[in-house]
Every structure is written in structure tokens, then in C-alpha cells.
Amino acid sequence: MSATRQQWSTGRPGAAARPAPGQTDEQADRTDEQAVRTDEQTAGTDEQQAGRTVQQADRTVQPAGQTDHQASRPAAPARGPLDHAIDQIADIAADWAPTAGRVLLGLVLAWFGYHELVNPGAWTGYVPVLSETSNLAIAAVLIHGWILYMLAVALVAGIEPRLAAAVASILVLEIVISLTVSGLNDTALRDVGVLGLAVVLTGCRHRRLVLKG
């Protein structure tokens, strides 16, 4: 049996205690080891908490740094009355441009439809396959004129304008094809522009001055 220890650790720095009555040296050693482990765990926990505190402090300081960085940027130039007026005109144009295009397309179709109905003989030359002097050519021109006129009324009045524009796209495409068969000319190019307007109006969802059922 080894000599009796004069001093025993209690697991806390600087503290000492006598072994309990009946406690052997081996049990005292185990008690000392457990006390040391407890001290190490406590120290590790304190270090982790200190590290978390530092990280939170860094995160708290970061937004202030971002604010300083943003403040260091040059300020945007002040917008004058002319800029605001241009923005207002652009907004108005964006709202009413589809309506204006719809009405203008309706007027174009109404002009062609009216003249086809009033003087169909002058348009029979554009009818493919059929003879210019045949009654079938005149009937085809009259039917075509009535369709154009009804589409014009629908576009101007705002009656299912997207559907009317889609049908107008098909009719104008047929006209462009029939004109380009004999060669590309200024009339065909004009009708290509009308076809583009009709296609754009077909896909336009923003509408004003329309009749809703």
C-alpha cells in the first residue's frame, strides 16, 4: 500500500481535500481523473461560448459596414421635370398603343372592304385561279369585302379584338401570298406591314375601350 496522500484534488483549480474515510488510493486516483475531465469539459464549453459571442459580434458589425459601403457610392443624379414628362408619355403610350393599333388596323380593313363591296370588278384581278370576268370572281370579292368590313367593325368597336385580329392575320396573309406569286412589289410589302400589325394585336393582352360580354 502506498503512502497516504497528503492532499487530494476536488476537481476545481486551487482546491484541495482529504480523502474520504475508507477510500483507497485507486479510488482517489479515479476521483482525481474525473475531476480533471470535468475541468477540461468546462473549459471547452467556455471557449465555444466565447467563440460564438465573437461570431455574433462580427455579424452585428457587418450590416454597419455594408451601410458604410453603400453610403460611399455616388448618389444618382436628380431627375428633372423633363425626365418625369418623358416617363409619363411613355406610360401613356404603353397603355394606349395597342388600342391605337387596333383602331388603325380596323380603318385599313374598312377601307379595303368598302371598296371591294362598292366596286368588286376592280378587284377581281387579285382573285387567284378564277377568271377576272367570271361571276365567281365577283362573288369571291364581295364575300371577302364583307368579311373585311365585319372585322373592321369588330376591331374599332372592341368586340373580341384578339379573335378579329387573328382572322385578319389569316386574310392578309392570303393577300400577301397572292400578291407575291407574280413577284414582290410595293403593294405586297405594304400588306406585309399590315400583317405584322395584325399578328402583334393577336398576342396583345392589354386592351382598352373594348366591349365585354
Taking only the tens place, the pLDDT of each residue in 44-70 is 666 666 666 656 655 554 454 455 555
35 Cβ contact partners less than 8 Å away, ≥ 6 residues apart: 9, 10, 11, 12
How far is Cα 142 from Cα 124, in angstroms, rounded to an integer? 10
Please give the model's pTM, rounded to 2 decimal places.
Answer: 0.58
pLDDT at 126: 83
Tens of pLDDT, residues 112-171? 999 999 999 998 888 888 888 889 999 999 999 999 999 999 999 989 889 999 999 999
Given a contact cutoff of 8 angstroms between Cβ atoms, the answer to whether 151 and 180 are in contact is no
Given a contact cutoff of 8 angstroms between Cβ atoms, the answer to whether 148 and 170 are in contact is no
Given a contact cutoff of 8 angstroms between Cβ atoms, the answer to whether 38 and 29 are in contact is no
